[in-house]
Every structure is written in C-alpha cells, then in structure tokens.
Amino acid sequence: MKSLLIIASFLISIDGYAQKERELLFDKASSFYYGVDLQDSTNMNFKRDFDSSLIYLLRLNKKYPNYRHTETLDRISVCYFEKKDYSKSLTYALRVLPNFKTNNIESDYYCFECNSACYRIGYIYQLQKQFEKALSYYDSCSTKYTTLPAFCSISYYLSKVPEDYNLFSCYMGLGQSKIALNKLTPYLFDSTINGYLDTTIINDYVKALLTLYSKEEIKSNIQSAIDSMYYNVEIKNNRDSLKYDYKITCWFKLFDSKVVLTEAEAYGRDKNEVDFFDTKENLVERIRKSEGYKRLFVP
C-alpha cells in the first residue's frame, strides 16, 4: 500500500513538473513573439524576436504536441513567415486548418487561428505565383474560415484594402485585368479612403488601367461617371412629427465597377435637410479629391 502511495506521489510530481514546463515554454515563446517581457512588464527594451520564439515553440511542439496545439502550430508558421522561410511557414499553416470544426465564433470549438493561417497560405501561394491556389484560399477566408467583422470603418479599411490589393495582384497575374480592376476601383475614387492607399497600390492600379484604356478614354469615363451619378434622398417626418428622418443613397458606375459613396440613414433630425457631408456637391468633391481622380483626370 505504501509503495502504491509513493508511486502515485511520484507520478503526480512528474505531471506537475510537465505542466509547469510546458507553460514556461509557451510563456517564453510568447514573450519573444509579442515583444513583451511577461516576467517583467517594466522592461521596455524587450523586442520581438521570432528566432528566439521559434526555438521555444519548436521545443514545445516536439515535447508536448497536444498542448495548445493549434495556437503553437500557427505561431510557428508566423515565425517562419517573418524569417521569410515560406516553405516551412506553409507546411505549418496547412497543419492548422484540419483543426477547423465550426465558424461559429461563440463555440468552444471555434478555431481562431484558422482564418489567419488560411490567409497566410494564400499569400505564400501568391508569392510563388500560384495565383489560382492563392485565390482559392483567399476565398476560404471569407466563406469557411470566417472571423469577426471589423468593429469600425478604420479597422475595416486597414484590412480590406490590402486584402483586395492581393486579389487584384492575383487576377493581374492570371491576365484577368478587368476583374483585377474591379477589386480596387471603389477605393481609388473616394477621397475618404485616400489614407488607406499606398503608392504601390495607386501605381499598380493606374498601370493596369492604362493597359485597357487610353488617357482620353479614362478621362471620358470618369466625367461620365460623375455626370450620371445616382443620388437619392428621402426625407420624412418621424413618429413624433416634430423631427425628421432621412435616407440617402449615392453611387456611380466606373470601369465596370459600382462605387458606393454613401448609403446612410439619419433619425430625429431638427431640419428637413441632409448634412453637408451627404450633399451631392460634397460627394462629387470626394471623387475629385480622390487619388484616382488626381492621378488620372487632373492634367
């Protein structure tokens, strides 16, 4: 009996040590991964170090393969990606996806890492010029391995513009210029999105457009789009009859793309008129101040 107690105590101590070791390995990997000293939060000199993080992650995955399995695989993939070892990054990212069970974000079985891993796979295939494969995985990010929607317009455009630029690049790689242009046209002709566009995106768009249209045709198309812009405002008394509600819709067609400038609703307004921001004059001005207009229409 005494022997059994000793053995049980020994096994418990081993299990306790293993638990502490895998937690320590994960914490050390996380410290280097995020660039935050988890042991000393006042250490402001701690920097992100993917090489060091990778050492701990690989050790953790080898010795305790079932501990935070999906998260560890995804982080290993990220580390290799940051080191530009795309082959190994792809290998580990592909091992993440089989852990997918549901796209219900509230489920205990939801795989947070599947969306990022899937997108990384698509991007690596894009770098390898395997554009059809890249598009397939990009599509899966929004149809299968879904994630939470952006909580505001800033976070939406910060992610959506680069994502659509990658789609643009893939379609250009496949020689499908018109489809490629459709991915970026809505961003290039609205000045409220100027801040989300970098020089590379703008230059690549202009270059692609000039392969299909002459400069004169481009100017003519832009002017026609402005002249035929759809603008509709509905204003009515709200329930208490003392204030006003309005709904406004404004869009135009350009280069086979529908560019929506606004689809807004406002309730309980004191005046039976729209705000200046939603007037037709201001919306036209948004087009004229856009990066696309400045690069393609202004002499």
Q: Per-residue pLDDT tens, the chain, 299 aa: give them.
A: 555 444 444 434 445 556 788 888 988 888 888 887 766 666 656 678 999 999 999 999 999 998 889 999 999 999 999 999 999 999 999 999 998 888 777 776 788 899 999 999 999 999 999 999 999 999 999 899 888 776 677 888 899 999 999 999 999 999 999 999 999 999 999 999 999 999 999 999 999 999 999 999 999 999 999 999 999 988 777 666 677 777 889 999 999 999 999 887 766 566 767 778 888 999 999 999 999 999 998 76
- Number of other residues whose CB lies within 10 A of the CB of residue 282: 15
Task: Considering only the C-alpha atoms of the chain, give the largest distance between any 2 of them, rounded to a whole number of Å.
Answer: 95
Nearest CA to 251 out of 221, 227, 230, 228 is that of 230
Nearest CA to 274 out of 241, 235, 230 is that of 235
Residues ≥6 apart with Cβ < 8 Å to 223: 297
237 neighbors 220 (Cβ within 8 angstroms):
no
Nearest CA to 292 out of 137, 185, 153, 144 is that of 185
Distance in angstroms (rounded) separating the CA atoms of residues 265 and 215 = 37
Residue 287, CA distances (Å) to 188, 193, 218, 294 in order: 9, 11, 14, 9
| pLDDT the model gives residue 20 | 86
| pLDDT the model gives residue 246 | 78
> Which one-letter DSSP state was computed for residue 37?
-
- Kindly report the length of the chain: 299
Q: How many CA atoms lie within 13 A of 238 on its CB side?
A: 15
249 neighbors 232 (Cβ within 8 angstroms):
yes
| pLDDT the model gives residue 42 | 62
| pLDDT the model gives residue 219 | 95
37 neighbors 52 (Cβ within 8 angstroms):
no
> Which one-letter DSSP state was computed for residue 193?
G
Q: What is the pTM of this model?
A: 0.85
| pLDDT the model gives residue 7 | 46
Beta strands in the chain (DSSP E): 230-237, 244-254, 257-269
Sheet holding 230-237, edge to edge: 230-237, 244-254, 257-269
| pLDDT the model gives residue 127 | 97
| pLDDT the model gives residue 223 | 95
